[in-house]
Chains A and B, each alone.
Chain A
């Protein structure tokens, strides 16, 4: 993987903040008070033709819009491959089909909900829309789904650096799933202001959603955002020390020390139990600006894609909006961003981004 260099040449993201306009960087912050964060939606008509639009579920619209924004941002580079990652896929359509199965006792059912509940429906839709007949894959491995999609693209690009891949990740909020997961302790029981998430040192996080696409290539594009230097996934590290060792090894494999990391983007979720190990590791990075993002995105399997957008934005725009900062480290330029994410205290990922 380190034999090649990889560039993010375009980005498109729809999230619980107003992020679909790449000219902005968290200019406007949306607060949520019911522990569920919904996407701030773009005007779909701007990205999807009306005949295609009417057939699409909400999340397919969100995902396709993000993909189109990304392709336009990359200078309309037609992708050679499309890879998406998701944790729970299309929960609304899954729920609707299940509910119809019960309501109609398995008779007189219609195909649309079933078809649109399949995990690879977005990757297929983007391929259809862009007429991309190249490599196409969908990863559904929980908190690693985004990173695996990125890694999958990087392995292909290593053998052909001139190609470019669209790597996307998405997940959606859903009432039924929220109810089920609430009972398993996933979410805060007290209602809070989402932006104040890290002031509440209690169990549980907030349910979030979003879709983010990145145009990745082995060659620099005109609108390049940053370089993806390396990534690593760690499943269930035994302890804070074990995670620390993984991080140190990762950095040294990239000839970097902790002091050379300018910005640490951490995927703390606000759940005091799940954040424990990650908090231990964050303390090693006292020279870096402490950036967090799940108070803006909420928590979901592929939330690290929002984190990746945050890191890439910092490197491209060379500034950090105050709402992201969680310590007093002031810097004037940013060259190296390390993203450390955790999902449910089980899926840990490291992504190293560099400015170009």
Chain B
């Protein structure tokens, strides 16, 4: 089981790839930076992409997309959620 600190850099790479964030490096965004609205400026379609990211890479299915709001607040909240819920 990976720790939150181990998950964070991995997640950043996955997010950059999945969302096609050209020109954005993992160093450029902070683990606690808001992903939506201000910060990285993601939108509702990106939220769906992140749900699929969780499923494809960690086997976690978000039953209710509205849960996404809490989970996807930042890379850290995502990492914490994964650590709690990942299927081995």
> Chain A: residues with CB nearer than 8 A to chain B?
50-51, 53-55, 108-112, 115
Contact = CB atoms under 8 A, between A and B. Distances in A.
Q: Which 3 A-B pairs give the minimum distances between C-beta atoms?
A: A110-B52, A54-B22, A111-B48
Given A108-B56, A109-B52, A54 B21 contact: yes
Given A51-B41, A54-B22, A108 B48 contact: no
B1 interface: no
Nearest to A111: B48
16 contacts: A50-B23, A51-B41, A53-B22, A54-B19, A54-B21, A54-B22, A54-B23, A54-B24, A55-B19, A55-B20, A55-B45, A108-B52, A108-B56, A110-B18, A111-B49, A112-B49
A111 B45 CA distance: 7
A161 B58 CA distance: 58
B55 interface: yes
Interface of A is mostly: helix
Contacts of A112: 20, 45, 49
Contacts of B41: 51
Classify chain B: how many residues form its interface, as a range. Answer: 10 to 19
Contacts, number: 27
Nearest to A109: B52
B20 A115 contact: no
B22 A110 contact: no
Nearest to B55: A108
Nearest to B57: A108
B55 A110 contact: no
A54 B52 contact: no
Contact of A54 (B20, B48, B55): B20
Contacts of A111: 45, 48-49
A152 B65 CA distance: 41
Nearest to A107: B55
A260 B74 CA distance: 68
Contact of A115 (B24, B45, B52, B55): B45
Nearest to A53: B22
Given A54-B23, A55-B20, A112-B49, 19 more contacts: A50-B23, A51-B41, A54-B19, A54-B20, A54-B21, A54-B22, A54-B24, A55-B19, A55-B45, A108-B52, A108-B56, A109-B52, A110-B49, A110-B52, A111-B45, A111-B48, A112-B20, A112-B45, A115-B45
Interface in B48-63: 48-49, 52, 55-56
